[in-house]
């Protein structure tokens, strides 16, 4: 089949079960797969803070420094809290698992809903910010931002359908390229600032912290918390690490936090040093230049180095979406196994990945990008609510775990997780309040809706289970031969095949002719007499049905109803002779009576419809 060939070409050969173990990742491959999301927030977190502050006054931008410092501290608290999760949940401790096990079903589902939304937004935000990096460097691409973003999502989806290991390899290079680029940017930036050889920006004077309102500071802080997105990915994905997986995951987590914290602080400080403020369409597409792009241009001018930084940023942002492509399908599969989501999401596809989950994620993210016009700044408020809700539930679950199980060193763990839980809960409140009207309300409405959906799905599966359940012992005693009905319009080779088949499965066969054309009906009677002999001597009975409205379908349906009334409890089998044309377009030349009859009779209980097909050779 051509479709199968195309699928194989794009996705690679099917992998057999025995190839599964090979797919586990060493640390150097796991770092890019699971941390590109977290690290890439360097590209937009600083900008999100500055957008809020600069709306008041350029001087207010100085507040970005203490805000960034607070966020870095938060980052450390949350990551220490997540290390505990990795220790205690070596098989993958996503917020869903942790909350469900320790806090109960509803908090678990709440976390599951929050996480699913997050992963979708991770893709949407990262891709939008990646496209912003491209349009900052190449403003002429700005009108095509949405199209570029959608194209990138398509490519990501296909790469992920190919399987985890290959994508690990593909994604390592950009992540390491980004780490090197930002490192060089910061080193060269601070060095040249220290030397004093960077051109000073005219206009605004460095001033002591101007007085600004608390709400504004909180809003800026809430925006900057986008820097924390993605740090939970490693703790969800522990089983994907090579053994010893918990230890490897912890090491990878701490490397990631160190790099992320340093980069975020460095970019914020350097941006402030050079008085960089978000430009008009800041962060979005449509002509605005991102803060990181302005910074890179300030440090390197319009050189190759500038373009290298933009390329690295765009690449890691695009690749960041991959974090979600690794984790969303895993979560969906767990929810599917627990019967809260369609169970097809738990099917492992023929490349050993959860193909259905990957596809769903790709489509959902594409839809968001399309609806929000690939505007990072518009998507961030939606993003943060879900992120901090799942953080809070996950840490609270850990607190409950320590209190209940009291394993060795539980007090240390309890304190770390408690700190994490309180910190993230506070941030959640700040985000929900300060970002409510900017889009957070959407998520606050969607999460309960998803909760209802999860429960509805579960109820359906339970009901189906009950309905299909067999008693402890059962037998196959209730066997009655089927009554067979064969609707025909005349005798030809295909009809003969169908009659032969009917003879093979039953001794009670009603051959029906619908009398739409007197001549044809007479012809059937005559051929019957000539070739099938007296009716009474045969298991075949000829039935001529009236057709006052020229429909062939209705009289057959009526006759079946009548037969059913006369033989309650018995199964009727309708054998439809059908000839299959050699080319599909030949079919347009024939009445599709068989098709219409099948459609009418489909899915009626105790009525089985069989097509006996006869193939035309030319």
Residues 446-475 that bind its own copies (CB under 8 A): 457, 460-461, 463-464, 467-470, 473-475
Query: Of 194 and 549, which has the nearer Cβ to its own copies?
Result: 549
Q: How far is the CB of 479 from its own copies (least distance, A)?
A: 4
Cα atoms found within 13 Å of the Cα of residue 242, Cβ hemisphere only: 11
Q: How far is the CB of 512 from its own copies (least distance, A)?
A: 17
Q: Which of 433, 444, 557, 604 binds its own copies (CB under 8 A)?
A: 604
Nearest Cα residue to 515 out of 486, 543, 557: 543
Query: Of 262 and 344, which has the nearer Cβ to its own copies?
Result: 344
Beta bridge partners of 241: 25
Query: Of 398 and 612, which has the nearer Cβ to its own copies?
Result: 612
Q: Which of residues 109-138 bind its own copies (CB under 8 A)?
A: none
State both tokens at 350: 């023929």
Q: Which of residues 289-308 bind its own copies (CB under 8 A)?
A: none
Q: How far apart are CA 496 and CA 493, in angstroms?
A: 5
Q: How far apart are CA 114 and CA 451, in angstroms?
A: 10
Q: How far is the CB of 559 from its own copies (least distance, A)?
A: 18
194 binds its own copies (CB under 8 A): no
Q: How far is the CB of 482 from its own copies (least distance, A)?
A: 5
Q: How far apart are CA 145 and CA 376, in angstroms?
A: 12
478 binds its own copies (CB under 8 A): yes
- Residue 297 is inside which H or E element, if any? helix 291-300
518 binds its own copies (CB under 8 A): no
Q: How far is the CB of 86 from its own copies (least distance, A)?
A: 29
Q: Are 30 and 23 in contact (CB under 8 A)?
A: no
Segment interacting with its own copies, rule: CB under 8 A, options 12-20, 111-119, 243-251, 386-394: 12-20
- Residue 123 is inside which H or E element, if any? helix 105-137
DSSP 571: P
393 binds its own copies (CB under 8 A): no
Query: Of 76 and 453, which has the nearer Cβ to its own copies?
Result: 453
State both tokens at 185: 């940017």
Q: Are 210 and 218 in contact (CB under 8 A)?
A: no
Query: Of 409 and 606, which has the nearer Cβ to its own copies?
Result: 606
- Residue 511 is inside which H or E element, if any? strand 509-515
Query: Of 541 and 615, which has the nearer Cβ to its own copies?
Result: 615
Q: How far apart are CA 195 and CA 190, in angstroms?
A: 9
613 binds its own copies (CB under 8 A): yes
Q: How many residues bind its own copies (CB under 8 A)?
A: 74
Q: Which of residues 536-595 bind its own copies (CB under 8 A)?
A: 540, 548-551, 571, 573, 579-581, 586, 588-591
Q: Pairing between strand 572-580 and 607-615?
A: parallel
Provide the mask over 18-57, with x wherever binding to its own copies is found by CB under 8 A and - wherever it is not. Answer: x---------------------------------------
SS3 of the chain: helix, strand, coil, percent, to 5? 70, 5, 25
Secondary structure of residue 283 in the 3-state scheme: coil
415 binds its own copies (CB under 8 A): no
DSSP 486: E
Q: Which of residues 307-346 bind its own copies (CB under 8 A)?
A: 342-344
532 binds its own copies (CB under 8 A): yes
Q: How far is the CB of 547 from its own copies (least distance, A)?
A: 9
Provide the mask over 481-510, with x wherever binding to its own copies is found by CB under 8 A and - wherever it is not. Answer: xx--------xxxx-x--xxx-xxxx----
Q: How far is the CB of 534 from its own copies (least distance, A)?
A: 14
State both tokens at 270: 């350097």
Count of beta carbons in the 10 Å neighbourhood of residue 107: 21
Q: How far apart are the first and last CA of the chain?
A: 21
Q: How far apart are CA 468 and CA 486, in angstroms?
A: 31
363 binds its own copies (CB under 8 A): no
């Amino acid at each position: 089949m051509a479709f199968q060939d195309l699928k194989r070409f794009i996705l690679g050969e099917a992998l057999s079960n025995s190839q599964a173990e090979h797919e586990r990742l060493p640390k150097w491959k796991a770092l890019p797969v699971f941390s590109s999301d977290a690290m890439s927030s360097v590209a937009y977190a600083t900008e999100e803070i500055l957008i809020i502050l600069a709306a008041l006054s350029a001087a207010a931008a100085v507040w970005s420094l203490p805000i960034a410092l607070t966020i870095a501290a938060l980052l450390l608290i949350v990551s220490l809290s997540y290390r505990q999760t990795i220790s205690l949940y070596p098989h993958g401790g996503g917020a869903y698992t942790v909350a469900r096990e320790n806090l109960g079903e509803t908090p678990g589902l709440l976390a599951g809903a929050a996480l699913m939304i997050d992963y979708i937004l991770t893709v949407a935000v990262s891709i939008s910010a990646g496209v912003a990096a491209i349009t900052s460097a190449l403003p002429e691409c700005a009108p095509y931002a949405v199209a570029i973003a959608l194209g990138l999502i398509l490519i990501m989806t296909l790469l992920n359908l190919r399987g985890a290991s290959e994508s690990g390899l593909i994604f390592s290079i950009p992540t390491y390229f980004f780490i090197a680029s930002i490192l060089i940017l910061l080193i060269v930036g601070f060095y040249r600032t220290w030397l004093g050889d960077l051109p000073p920006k005219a206009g605004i004077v460095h001033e002591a912290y101007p007085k600004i309102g608390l709400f504004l500071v909180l809003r800026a802080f809430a925006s900057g918390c986008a820097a924390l997105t993605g740090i939970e990915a490693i703790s969800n994905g522990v089983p994907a690490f090579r053994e010893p997986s918990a230890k490897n995951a912890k090491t990878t987590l701490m490397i990631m936090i160190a790099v992320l914290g340093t980069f975020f602080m460095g970019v914020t400080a350097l941006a402030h040093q050079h008085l960089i403020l978000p430009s008009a369409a800041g962060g979005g597409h449509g002509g605005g230049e991102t803060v990181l792009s302005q910074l890179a241009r300030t440090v390197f001018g319009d050189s190759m180095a500038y373009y290298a930084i933009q390329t690295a940023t765009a690449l890691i942002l695009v690749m960041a979406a991959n974090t979600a492509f690794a984790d969303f399908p895993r979560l969906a599969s767990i929810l599917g196994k627990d019967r809260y989501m369609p169970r097809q999401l738990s099917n492992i596809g023929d490349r050993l990945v959860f193909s259905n989950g990957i596809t769903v994620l790709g489509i959902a993210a594409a839809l968001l990008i399309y609806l929000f016009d690939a505007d990072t700044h518009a998507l961030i408020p939606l993003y943060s609510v879900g992120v901090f809700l799942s953080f809070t539930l996950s840490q609270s679950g850990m607190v409950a775990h320590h209190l209940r199980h009291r394993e060795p060193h539980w007090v240390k763990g309890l304190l770390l997780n408690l700190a994490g839980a309180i910190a993230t809960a506070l941030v959640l409140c700040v985000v929900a309040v300060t970002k409510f009207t900017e889009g957070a309300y959407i998520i606050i409405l969607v999460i309960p809706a998803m909760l209802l959906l999860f429960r509805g799905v579960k109820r359906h599966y339970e009901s189906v289970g009950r309905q299909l359940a067999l008693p402890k012992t059962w037998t196959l005693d209730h066997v009655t031969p089927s009554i067979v009905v064969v609707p025909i319009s005349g005798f030809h080779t295909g009809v003969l095949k169908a009659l032969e088949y009917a003879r093979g499965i039953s001794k009670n066969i009603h051959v029906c002719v619908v009398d739409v054309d007197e001549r044809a009906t007479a012809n059937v009677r005559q051929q019957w007499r000539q070739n099938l002999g007296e009716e009474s001597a045969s298991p075949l009975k000829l039935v001529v049905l009236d057709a006052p409205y020229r429909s062939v379908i209705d009289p057959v349906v009526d006759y079946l109803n009548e037969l059913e009334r006369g033989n309650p409890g018995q199964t009727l089998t309708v054998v439809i002779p059908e000839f299959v044309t050699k080319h599909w377009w030949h079919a347009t030349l024939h009445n599709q009576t068989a098709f219409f009859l099948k459609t009418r009779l489909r899915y009626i209980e105790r009525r089985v419809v069989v097509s006996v097909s006869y193939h035309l050779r030319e």
